[in-house]
Structure 1
Amino acid sequence: MNEHGNPGQESGQAYWAAGLSLLMPYLGGILQLVLPAILLQQARSNPSRLVRENARWAANWNLTCFVLFHSLSVASMWLGVITFVFLIDELFTWAIILMCLACLIAVVHLVVTAIGIVVAGRRIFRPVMAIPFFRETEPEREEFVTVSGEPVP
């Protein structure tokens, strides 16, 4: 039974779907930062490894995109300001390139989030480029037993 009382396997699709908050005007940037972290905290107590790991990787991916997008946007704006204050035309080209890269990051984020929503129902989805800000909470460890069958501490 899942949290809604319906029979079926739990999945991490809801955690990946939180990445779609980027599409909301104005609040999307804040929600992209806060919502996955809140959902990750809720998922840590879930007994399903599929749910915990998908929540962790979704939060890592959202935070990675948040940092990249906002870093490129701020750098682009500063280059634009410097261009107009000091009349250095070459910097404006770099500002446009950085803004295009920020837009590309947003598109890649939406594509990876959509893939995560689809795949998270079956397996753990680990985006290759996600920076692991959040580490695994409970690493799997092998339990060693003695010859008599007692577990080794």
Structure 2
Amino acid sequence: MNTQGSPYDATRVPQPENAAQPAFGNGAYTYREPPQSGAKYWALGLLWFVPIIGMVAAPILLGVLAIQVRRHPSLIVRENARRAANWVITVTLVVLFSAVLIAVERISQYIVSGGDSGSSLTPLLLIANLLIWAAWIGHLAVSIIGSSIARTRVMNPRIAIPFISGAPD
């Protein structure tokens, strides 16, 4: 039997002498606090792609989280949470606007044609479908890029509508 202990022994955790961050734990198991980042807020934006509930849950969840961290001491966390929420709300509104355009076009075709709604592609349907596809692909790209960039800096999608403002001073 090895009496000196193995490197995997949980009771023998080597501690650096000049640690930049304090160690947390109960003595036997210690770990360093991870650096603060806003990556999780951008990754939560991918919840939008969950069928049926995702398009409703993602904007609500990110909006609530952005409001909760308004006074967080880290600028990266605060701003990334706010901008991720604004982005998801913007994308959701674009898709909802496109769905309304599709519904209006289909209803108007039904009324004008006297009950026989054709399956022709009109310019309004084309624009609505292109908006949905652009929102879907754009949101996927911005969420993935935001998840990787937000670890070290603030991700700023320039076309997001600022629904949630920054923290008051």
TM-score with structure 1 setting the length? 0.80
Q: 2-side partners of 1:118 and 1:76: how far apart?
A: 35
Could you tell me whether the CA contact under 8 Å between 1:80 and 1:91 is conserved in 2?
no
Deviations 1:83-125 (A, max 9, x none): 1221287774422331232122111111111111010001001
Could you tell me whether the CA contact under 8 Å between 1:83 and 1:91 is conserved in 2?
no
Could you tell me whether the CA contact under 8 Å between 1:79 and 1:91 is conserved in 2?
no
> What is the Cα deviation at residue 32 of structure 1?
2.2
Query: Runs of 5+ in structure 1 lacking a partner?
Result: 140-153
Of 66, 72, 75, which aligns to 2:92?
Answer: 66
Could you tell me whether the CA contact under 8 Å between 1:11 and 1:120 is conserved in 2?
yes
Q: Are positions 1:119 and 2:149 aligned together?
A: yes
Q: Which runs of 4+ in 1 moved over 6 A?
A: 88-91
Q: Percent identity?
A: 31
Question: Would you tell me which structure has more helix in proportion to its own residues?
Answer: 1
Q: 2-side partners of 1:25 and 1:43: how far apart?
A: 28
Q: 2-side partners of 1:10 and 1:102: how far apart?
A: 34
Q: 1-side partners of 2:84 and 2:78: how far apart?
A: 10
Q: Are positions 1:77 and 2:107 aligned together?
A: no
Q: 1:28 maps to which residue? A: 54
Query: Runs of 5+ in structure 2 lacking a partner?
Result: 1-20, 22-30
Matched letter for residue 131 of structure 1:
I
**Number of corresponding residues:** 136
Q: 1:145 maps to which residue? A: none
Q: Are positions 1:55 and 2:77 aligned together?
A: no
Q: 2-side partners of 1:138 and 1:50: how far apart?
A: 16
Q: Which has the larger radius of gyration?
A: 2
